[in-house]
Structures are given as C-alpha cells and as structure tokens.
Chain A
Amino acid sequence: MSLWRALNGRNDDDDRPAPGTPVFVAHGLTKVYRMGEVEVHALRGMDLELLAGEFVVLLGPSGSGKSTLLNILGGLDTPSGGTVRYREHDLVGADERRLTKYRREHVGFVFQFYNLIPSLTARENIALVTEIARRPMTPEEALALVDLADRMDHFPSQLSGGQQQRVAIARAVAKRPDVLLCDEPTGALDITSGKVVLGVLARVNRELGTTTAVITHNAAIAAMADRVVTIADGRISKVVRNDHKASPEDLAW
C-alpha cells in the first residue's frame, strides 16, 4: 500500500471483491414505520445476499417493501431489526456521519424522478460528485458513457426526461461506486427512453463491473438481470437466476 493511500485511510476500495463473492449480506431484516397512529411493517424478516458484479432486479408491487430495502442498502435508512453488512461495514449500528461517508464512497443512486440539481448544468451536476470522490472519472467521461457528451452544458430544464435520467446515471457512476442502486429508473419514462436508460445501466454493469440493483414493478425488466428477486409483503417470495440475460433493446412492455 502506498503512503498516500495509507494517509487517506484507503485500504478496501481498490481491491474489489472477485465477481460472485457476496458484498451485501442481510439477515432477518425488519422495518416498522409509524405513520401517525398506524404501524406499517415494510420488511418482515428478509434474508438477502447481493454478489459482486451482478445485475439484480428486485421485483414487486408497490408497498411490497422493495424501496425500503434499497434505502437500507444505500444507507439512507436503518432497519428496525436484523443485520445488514456491506463487506466490512455494519449498516445497522452506523451513525449518520458514517452512513454519509458510506454513501459518499461506495454507493451510486438513481431515482425515478432523477433528482438533478436544476440550477446546475449536466456537467456541473456530475462535478458535484466528482469533486468529493476519491478516484472519479471526469464529468466528460461520465457523460460520454451515457452518450450525452453533446448535452454537457444544458440545464435539466433543457433536457428530456430520458436525457435527465441518463445524466443522473452518469452522476451516480462518475465516482466509480461499488454499488449502483436504482429505484424505478424508468418509472417516469416512455418505453423508448426507458430502454435507452436500461441499456446504459447494463453497459455500466458490464464495462465497470459495478454491482447493480434495480427495483421495479415492471416484470419485463427482469429479463435483463443476472438474478431476479421477487418481493411480496415485506418478504422474499422467489429468487430466479437468468441463464440467458436479454439485451435491453429486446425488452417490451
């Protein structure tokens, strides 16, 4: 380990786990929300492993608990019970500061409504992340990856929904995250734009080897995954391995 890395406390990033080894391990996850006077059981004891480099689709109807699971994996939320680890990081006992650091260093998020900063151009939205990341790609590289090199200086209000989502993906992957978590990434898009966005996600997963989890209620998307985890009523009801992954262009819904 070089002196520079030692000074920066880096000892786990550059040695990515070999493909196929578990990176996320969750046991008996439960999550109870209090919505006013009603208790909502979003997760009712869930066991799950995500493997390095795989593309997982978490499939389920709305209210099944899949977003809650994704938020816990991404360090946005903490479970009420059970354990969840990302490699050597315990995500249950971590305080706000450690969760922020975890998100900053390891996780890329993509949301249904893009969540771009409207006052920043495409390039600047990405620079926002690359400035605080350790070994990012340049904003230009990230935008080239999503085929938007020609829209770099456009503001979000000047881009279509699909283009905005691709900027969001570029922003999520620019820091070379270990894991990319996508919450209904095509939920607000028409089918053509949706397929372009899914193509970009598949490419990132293939070319950068980023572990990718996509949650959706759209069963058609499941065909492009390595594994499909079906969630119902806060539990995993079914896990299916795809021996033949479909290409995003061939999907239809």
Chain B
Amino acid sequence: MLDRKLRRDLLRMKGQAAAIALVVACAVAAYVGSTTTYRALRSSNEVYYDRFAFADVFAELRRAPRSLASRIAEIPGVGTVETRIVADGPMDIPGFAEPATAHVVSIPPGGPRLNRLVLLSGRMPEPGAGEALAGDTLLKLHHLRLGDAVTVALEGTRHTLRLVGTATSPEFIFQIRPGDLLPDDAHFAVFWLPESDLAAATRLDGAFNNVALRLAPGARETDVLARLDRLLEPYGCLGAYGRDRHVSHRFISDEIRQLQGVAVFMPAVFLGVAAFLLNVAFSRLVGTQREQIAAIKALGYGNAAVGLHFLQLAGVIVLLGTLVGTLAGAWFGSAMTRMYALFYHLPLFRYELDPSAVASAVLLSLLTAFAGVAGAVRRAVRLPPAEAMRPPAPPRYHATLLERLGLGRLLGPVGRMILRSLGRRPVRALLTAVGVAAAMAVLVLGAFLDDSITWMMDLQFRRAQLEDATVTFVEPRDPAVVHELHAVPGVTAVEPFRAVPAVLRAGHRTYRIGILGLPSPAALHRISDREGNLVALPAGGLMLTDKLADLLHARPGDDLDVDILEGTRPRKTVRLAAVVPDLIGLSAYMELDSLNRLAGHGPALSGAFLSVDPAAEQALHRRLKDAPLVAGVLLQRVAVASFEATNAQYLLFFTGILVLFAAVIAVGVVYNSARVTLAERERELASLRVLGFTRGEVSAVLLGELAVLVVLALPLGCLFGLGFSALIARNLSSDLFRVPLIVESSTFAFAALVVLGASLLTALAVRRRIDRLDLVEVLKTKE
C-alpha cells in the first residue's frame, strides 16, 4: 500500500521531482560523459602504445653511421633499437596557397619495429618510386585522393611525393609543429618514406639522424639516457630524452590528467546542488505529511517501513535522473570523443559506454540523495504518532537584525514579510543563493576559457609579437642576409634572431633547450610577462621563464653552466640575469650578440622575423619558400586564424553544454525554492488575497523573496565563478602552457543574464500557480 502512496506522492510533486531529477541528470551526464571519455582516452592510449610499440627513449642527432646501432643495443637496459631518418621541410599542397610544413620519417626495410605504423588506407610505399604515406587527416582536409602528389623541399631540393596510403603511429597522437600552441593539421603533416628514398633526399646514405628505443624490462631510464648521451654526443646529439619530454606524449598525458579533474569537479558541484534540493523538498514533504506519517504508524507500520518509504521516494527521483543523465552522458561522451578526434590521432579511440562508470554514477547519486534526505527521514522516523496528529507549533518569527538596525522603517509590511521569512531560515536562504550562484559560476567557467585564450592570443600576437612572418634557415647564416631579406618586395622590417641548442645545468639539474637570441631593444618579436607588460632583455646573461628557472631551482644572480650543443660545443658559465613570469612554456632568452659570443663563433643568424605588407604576403611566401637555405616560413596571420577557428569550435561545444547545465541548476534551484515556499505559505498568501490583495501583490511576496536570493546570488556567483575558473586554470596549466585567469566583465554580465532569465521564466511558472490558489480550499484546512 505504501508503494501506491509513493507513486501518488511522486505524481503530486512531479514538478519538483523533475527539477531535482534534472540536476541529478546533469551530474550523472557530466560524470558519465567525462569519466567514460577519460577511460576511453586512457585505455586507447595505453593499448595503442603497447600494440604499436611506442618507444621509451628518443634522441636526435646530426649524423651517425648505421653501424652505431649495434653499439646502442649493447647499452645495458636497452631493448629494441630503431635508427631512423627524420627531416622537416616546407611543402606545397595542390590547391592550397598557405605555408605548410612536412615532417618526414623513414620506414626501415621490413617496416618499423618501434612506433609502428597503423596503415589506415592504401598500401605501403615502394622504395625508389617516389611514393609516401601521409598522415590521416591530410587527404581529408585538403580534398586529396590516394595517387595525388605533394611537393616537399628537403635540404633545398624539391621532391614530389605520390601518396599511396595514409597512416599514423603512436609517436604522433598529437601532431604539432615545433613552436605552435595548438595542432594545426591544415598546415602541418607527417609523411613516411622508405628509408633509402629519404636517405637519398637528405644525403644520409648509410647513416641515421634519429634513434628510438625501448627499454629492457627493469631497466632504469636515467642510466640508459646518460650512457646514450655519452655514446651519441660526438654525432651531434642534443641529448636523449624519455617519454616525459616527448611532445605528443606530454600533451596526451596532460589531457588525460585534466579530463580526470573535470570528471571529479563538475559532478561534485551538481551533486552538491541536488543534495541540497532533495533536503529542502523532503523536509517540506515530511512537514506536510506529519498526520499521514502518524496515521501510518498508528496503523502498525514500523519506523523502518516509514524511513524506507521516504528513502525509496528519493531513490526513485534520483534513479530517474540517473537514467536521463546516463543517456545524456553517453551522448556527451561520444561528442567529446569526436571533439578529441579533432586534436588527437588515436586510431583505437572508440567511445564506449563503460558499465562500471554508469554503476558508480548510480551509486554516487544514490549516496548523495540519501545524504540529502537523511535529516528529513530521521525526523519522520522519530515522529511519535500522538505528537504527529497534533498540528505543529506555529512558526516563530522575530524582527531581523537589519530591522533592529533601523532598516525596518524603510520597509512596508510586505518587505518585512520577505525579510523575516528569509531570516527565519537563514541556512536554507543562503544555500538557495549558493545554488543559484553555482549556476552562475558554471556559466562564468564556460566563458572564462574563451576570455583567457582570447586575451592570451591578443597578448602574444597583437601586443607583444608584432611580426607578420618568421623565416628560419637550414644553417646559421651570415648577418648580411638581413639586407637580402630587406630587398624582398613586401618586406617592411627585418629583425634577425639566433637559436642555439644548449643544455642548462644548475647543480645536478639540467634542461635541454634552444636559447633564443634577440636584438635589444626588439621592435617586432618582443617578450612580455604574464600581465602583458613588455620585458626588456638584460644587457648580458640569460633570461629564463619562471617555470624553467623553477625547474632548475635557479634564481637571478645564480651562475648556470651552459653546454653549447653545436660548433665546438664549448661549456660556458653564464649568469642568470633575469626571470620573466610568462604564460607559454619554457624559454631561455639572451641578447643576440652576447649569445653569438657565448656560442663561440662569429655573428650568425638562425632566422628572422619580418614585418610584411599584407598585400604582398602571398607573393612573399611563394618566393621565400622556394629559396635555398630557407627551412621554413611561418605566416603569423594564418597560424593565428587557424588556431582561432579550431578553438572556436571547441569552445562553442563546451560553452553550449555548460549553459545548458547552468540553466538546469538555476531553474532547479529557483523552482524548488519557489514551490517549497509556496507550499509552506499557501495559507498566508490566501489570507492576503482574502484581505483584498491582488494576485500581483501576493506574487510579489513570494517572488520578492526569490528575487532577493537571486540578486544576492549574483555577486556570490561572480566570486564562485572566479574560484572555479582559477581551479580549472590550474588544472589546464602544464609545463607547455599556462592559462591566465582572465574573466571579462562581459562574461559576468552574460552569466548574470542567463541566471536572471532562467529565474524569471521559473518565477512566471510559479506565478501561474499562485494565481490558481483556491482561497476557499486553503483557508478551510487548518495548518
């Protein structure tokens, strides 16, 4: 019989139940969506690494004879060794005028044993036939077909590569051009060529310039790295490194870590709100059902049966929410998976609705529900039947603190009713405001990423770095090249730079990096700190980003040992002159002439930043791309535009989801609060109507209370929003990337508007109920 009561109670409170169930659904959707995506990403990554033999250690060198491979294999702890040829060069894609870079990797005879290829379409290329495999997205993005050709310039010679298949490999899950912020598949592609073909193109016959190896079981990576460095140093190795410094691996593992954070954080917020809503709704329910509870007990049902009855009711609501949430979560997860597919090349990445994630979502939300209703259920269980038959004592009110301070005189009776009603249940009022604030915070969070990234892009590319194009040379060039560049039509300013590979040492800590030498003062490529202030290079000595200085435990004034990794490879001592707190990655800077002196040979340039007449940009690009000794040309505008396009797509998706979530929370909290207050004060409102108050005036009493809470919630929501954003900014920040905490006032305004809009719509729905109050019926029953 209690089951039938349960069904009818549920029907009677269907609006509230639906609001609560929807908030639970959001929690479950966020949890299931992000947890399943997280697990899919992590496991597909692990399986991919394992099945396709992702290497443990990598090293790049200038040139070493292939015979060295056996000596590498002799290093204790080394398992499989693969020597390869890897080269970069500008490429021409048919029908695509913008600058693009090719990253070409050799395929050893018989196929790679490490970082093995996943052949996605077509066939393996035949040696000597000018054939190549291309990365998986090139064909799709540029509307090419197998059999089409692209041109790649290697060592100053153009090679036509006929594409016979598409492939990917575990070392290119994340494909990014060195120096870029985000992957840009339109302007960067990986190719695989038969080893003999690539050796011929790069003049590395019988030699290699890249090693990948797997460690033997139980081997210590640091020992292997040290021995490998010693062995390869004479061959121009800039230092071997493990997976922790492998760019693709780092991006994907950062992503997995971040997703794990989101999978915990978002559901926690939603479940907290759901628990609060259940608490309020059930406290009210037990309050109105005192007499029913007493009657049920008087009929001989035990306390356990009564307690179980209310727990079941909460359980049903939560399970309904979980069902909706699981469906939404599955959709959300598969959409996220598609989103990740834009960034990551993971052939084994398939979305699967993991039953254990669903099970833990059910468990979590049931636990939350029971925590939320525990107090109300305890009250129902403890209610002695005789006492429950009597009406509860009339609610006690008193003048609030604000009134005692004299503010009351400014308010009419209706104002005082609102104030005292809030004052009677301050905790509930506060939690309601907190709930609405949480909705607003979620909105701020959604828009904050856009604000931060826009700010960062603006700082990097519009305020600090003013160059329109960057040219890099194959070999360091004589400073006279500046005049040649000046002479190119369309070039309005030239700022040379020098990049010197080096190992920085501070005690036992080392870091391998390219030191960037810039003229001082710089006119184009300027350095800025985290706040956007331009920073001047120190006259002598090194300037490091704070993250790098932290890694080395070095402070300004310390002396660092610097191993120059080119030319005569001198070891020098350099003072750390300054540390710049910045947003993007790890960098080391020096004044250009000081760097050239440090490197131990005469003045030389690695490339130049150019200021270009926009009308001449395309012509300039065509001309420079084909020039001998130019390794690459990067057009800033194109890079920024492609970044912004990818980013916009990503943000639209997440902001959309978060707006939906926030609206559900706002509506859920406001609606529940309004319904509970309406139920508690039905009689009061009916009395006012009898006294001759109009429907509008009566609504003002109830909705005024909500309005006060919503208005209180707005500043609180801004604060929470900032807090959430700071948390997420920290979660998203890595060695490679630091997200600044930038929230524009338009974001706060947007969040406030959405919350106000949702509250207003809810208020209108409740207003209709107030209008329909049956005065006679309400006044007939005693409280």
Interface on A for B, CB 8 Å cutoff?
A: 67, 71, 74, 76-77, 96-97, 100-101, 103-105, 107, 109, 111, 113, 115-120, 124-125, 127-129, 131-132, 155-157, 171
Contact status of A171 and B691, CB under 8 A, knowing A71-B776, A76-B776: yes
Q: B397 and A103: CB pair below 8 A?
A: no
B597 within 8 A of A: no
Partner of A155, one of B397, B414, B779: B397
B217 within 8 A of A: no
Q: How many Å lie between the Cα of A177 and that of B420 in the bound state? A: 29
Partner of A103, one of B398, B417, B690: B690
Q: How many Å lie between the Cα of A42 and that of B401 in the bound state? A: 49
Closest CB in chain A relative to B586 CB, distance in Å:
62
B688 within 8 A of A: yes
Q: A120 and B413: CB pair below 8 A?
A: yes
Q: A117 and B684: CB pair below 8 A?
A: yes
Q: A118 and B690: CB pair below 8 A?
A: no
B653 within 8 A of A: no
Contact status of A127 and B692, CB under 8 A, knowing A113-B783, A115-B687, A118-B397: no
Contact indicator per residue, chain B 746-783, by CB within 8 Å of chain A (1) or not (0): 00000000000000000000000000000110011011
B355 within 8 A of A: no
Q: B397 and A119: CB pair below 8 A?
A: yes
Find the A residue at minimum CB distance from B689. A100
Contact status of A124 and B396, CB under 8 A, knowing A97-B694, A100-B692, A132-B693: no
Contact status of A131 and B693, CB under 8 A, knowing A117-B687, A120-B417: no
Find the B residue at minimum CB distance from A97. B694
Please indicate the chain A residues that have their CB under 8 angstroms from the CB of B782 in the complex: 113
* Given A67-B780, A157-B393, 17 additional A-B pairs, CB 8 A: A71-B776, A77-B775, A100-B694, A103-B692, A104-B693, A107-B692, A113-B779, A116-B687, A117-B417, A118-B394, A119-B684, A120-B416, A124-B416, A128-B413, A132-B693, A155-B398, A157-B395
B695 within 8 A of A: yes
Partner of A119, one of B412, B421, B779: B421
Find the A residue at minimum CB distance from B423. A119
Please indicate the chain A residues that have their CB under 8 angstroms from the CB of B417 in the complex: 117, 119-120
Please indicate the chain A residues that have their CB under 8 angstroms from the CB of B84 in the complex: none
Q: How many Å lie between the Cα of A97 and that of B687 in the bound state? A: 16
Interface residues on B, range: 20 to 34
24 A-B pairs whose Cβ atoms sit less than 8 Å apart in the complex? A71-B776, A77-B776, A96-B695, A100-B692, A100-B694, A103-B690, A103-B691, A105-B692, A113-B779, A117-B687, A118-B396, A119-B397, A119-B416, A119-B424, A120-B417, A124-B413, A127-B412, A128-B413, A128-B414, A128-B688, A131-B412, A157-B395, A157-B397, A171-B691
B683 within 8 A of A: yes
Closest CB in chain B relative to A123 CB, distance in Å:
9
Q: How many Å lie between the Cα of A135 and that of B84 in the bound state? A: 100
Contact status of A115 and B779, CB under 8 A, knowing A109-B690, A129-B691, A155-B397: yes
Contact status of A76 and B692, CB under 8 A, knowing A119-B417, A120-B416, A131-B413: no
Closest 7 CB pairs of A and B: A104-B692, A115-B687, A119-B420, A103-B692, A119-B397, A128-B413, A157-B396
Q: How many Å lie between the Cα of A218 and that of B165 in the bound state? A: 100
Q: How many Å lie between the Cα of A157 and that of B396 in the bound state? A: 6
Q: B692 and A132: CB pair below 8 A?
A: yes
Q: How many Å lie between the Cα of A127 and that of B408 in the bound state? A: 14
Q: How many Å lie between the Cα of A128 and that of B689 in the bound state? A: 12
Q: B684 and A118: CB pair below 8 A?
A: yes
Contact status of A115 and B694, CB under 8 A, knowing A76-B776, A156-B394, A157-B397: no
Closest CB in chain B relative to A128 CB, distance in Å:
4
Chain B residues numbered 158-196 whose CB sits less than 8 Å from any CB in chain A: none
Closest CB in chain B relative to A9 CB, distance in Å:
16
Find the A residue at minimum CB distance from B686. A115
Q: How many Å lie between the Cα of A71 and that of B776 in the bound state? A: 7
Closest CB in chain B relative to A153 CB, distance in Å:
9
Chain B residues numbered 136-152 whose CB sits less than 8 Å from any CB in chain A: none
Closest CB in chain B relative to A249 CB, distance in Å:
28
Please indicate the chain B residues that have their CB under 8 angstroms from the CB of A77 in the complex: 775-776
Closest CB in chain A relative to B582 CB, distance in Å:
57
Q: How many Å lie between the Cα of A76 and that of B687 in the bound state? A: 11
Closest CB in chain A relative to B291 CB, distance in Å:
16
Closest CB in chain B relative to A174 CB, distance in Å:
10
Please indicate the chain B residues that have their CB under 8 angstroms from the CB of A117 in the complex: 413, 417, 684, 687-688
Closest CB in chain A relative to B607 CB, distance in Å:
75
Q: A118 and B413: CB pair below 8 A?
A: no
Q: How many Å lie between the Cα of A71 and that of B686 in the bound state? A: 13
Partner of A76, one of B395, B412, B413, B690: B690
Please indicate the chain A residues that have their CB under 8 angstroms from the CB of B421 in the complex: 119
Contact status of A115 and B689, CB under 8 A, knowing A76-B775, A76-B776, A120-B413: no
